[in-house]
Amino acid sequence: MSTNKGLLDFNLSDELVEVGELIRNICEKEIVPRRAALDEKEEYPFEIFAKFKEAGLPGIMYDAEYGGMGADLFASIVFSEIVSEYCLGVNTAISATKLGALPIEHGGTEEQKKKYLSAFASGEKIGAFGLTEPNAGSDVPNLSTTAVKKGDRYILNGTKQWISNAGVADVYTIFALTDKSKGPRGMSCFIVEKGTKGLSYGKLEQKMGIRCSHTRQVIMEDVEVPEENLVGLKPNRGFIHAFQTLSSSRPAVAASAVGLATGAYKEAVKYARQREQFGKNIINFQAVQHMLADMATRIEQARLITYRAAKYAMAGHPEAAKFSAMAKYAASETAVAVANDALQLHGGYGFTKDYPIEKMYRDAKILTIYEGTSQIQKNEIGAYIIKESATMK
């Protein structure tokens, strides 16, 4: 019992409750009127980001010593869940900076943390995370980007694929092989700044959903990075940095899935209360009530496992990575299912852009793909099951 003390206490602090209310107010005022146009035009939400920056909200994700508010992982959970309820694209665009910051948080030197985390916390700079490649998505060992030591610099060559904030970000955490003979264990992480010679970007990807979150290739052709920009100043530690990053970021992705599902559910309830068929509002039909009951229950299940994963990650619990994978898998699949049912409940109207559920439906699918597909999450969960089975009686 002592191991789990406090790990299932999901009550938010008074401070986080107040922050959540502030986030929700900004979302209602700034996101709701703009989300359809941002999606249609594929515009990055600079104006919305400026409002969050004005309120000091980027700082809730960072420690006080680096200019943040000193809030814990639950602050990122609260932010992602609430913003995604209104627009997953906006949340992805803004939260991608935190993803790019995580390798520095986990493995960076104090100098690196003070320089870059402080800039992220203030909202001065936007970040991005560069691991995936055209031929190395889930297959991380197939990484081909290289970093060759030359004097006091590293020369990077390679292409990163599906990078959120590419072209927009000021700072990139890029993973590259520094020792090919060691495979993924010969991987390192580098901080690459926008404007560096040889750094360029591919076309803006035409995506089905989260269209206001810009996704491009990051292309490196003899990009020179000073040795001081090697994360942690130690080569061949990138695999650890990547693993730690994904384990701690997945609860926030799960929270964004919970948020989208919550938004879709609310739209479904609102529509069911307004829509009349056969002389009464459709919310009075048992079939509709059953759909809504399933949606509400699945959301609460996803929220509980997400919060548990966050608590485990914060406590350094030995099962943190397993529960992060479980939360990401369960919550993302829930978001897709709830968005689907919510659109079904809307009937033909849900298939049009006149209702926000159409966009939520398109946005939801990416949750089962980025930062590890549902199948990869199940692979990781399965690996833990095999390990645990060896000690079962």
Domain 128-237, second-level architecture = Beta Barrel (2.40)
Tell me the average pLDDT across 241-270: 95
Q: Which residues are catalytic?
A: 371
| For the chain, domain boundaries | 2-126, 128-237, 240-388
pTM of the model: 0.94
Which tokens sit at 349? Answer: 């109207």
Work out the mean pLDDT of the chain and round it to a whole number.
Answer: 94
Q: With 50 as the cut, is the pLDDT of residue 2 above it? A: no
Taking the domain 240-388, which CATH number applies? 1.20.140.10
DSSP string of 321-377?
A: HHHHHHHHHHHHHHHHHHHHHHHHHHGGGGGSTTSTHHHHHHHHGGGGTTTS-HHHH
Q: Which pLDDT tens digit goes with each residue over 129-181?
A: 999 999 887 777 789 999 999 999 999 999 999 999 999 999 999 999 999 99
Phi, psi of 285 (to 5 degrees): -85, 135
Taking the domain 2-126, which CATH number applies? 1.10.540.10
